[in-house]
Structure 1
Amino acid sequence: MNAIRLLRNTQVQKAIQKRMNRRSERPRLMPP
């Protein structure tokens, strides 16, 4: 089990969820 990989995975998932929530809440231009 790679702790670093797991941590990165969770971070990425969190970021994606945040982005999706933000987009659904109020659409606005955001840097990639």
Structure 2
Amino acid sequence: TNVARALGLERSHLYKKCQQLGIDLQSLRKTE
């Protein structure tokens, strides 16, 4: 349904953001 579809998009969107943030955090830790 619309709710499930919205949750799916939100989850994938947040997952991608977390991945990007995780990569950024790793690179920042390496530079320290």
Q: Same fold (TM over 0.5)?
A: yes
Please identify which structure carries the higher helix content. Answer: 2
- Segments of structure 2 that go 5 or more residues without pairing to the other structure are 28-32
- Amino-acid identity (%): 11
- Segments of structure 1 that go 5 or more residues without pairing to the other structure are 28-32
C-alpha distance in 1 between matches for 2:7 and 2:19: 18
How many residue pairs were aligned? Answer: 27
Which one has the largest radius of gyration? 2
Q: Which 4+ runs in 1 deviate beyond 4 A?
A: none
Q: Give the TM-score normalised by the residue count of structure 1.
A: 0.70
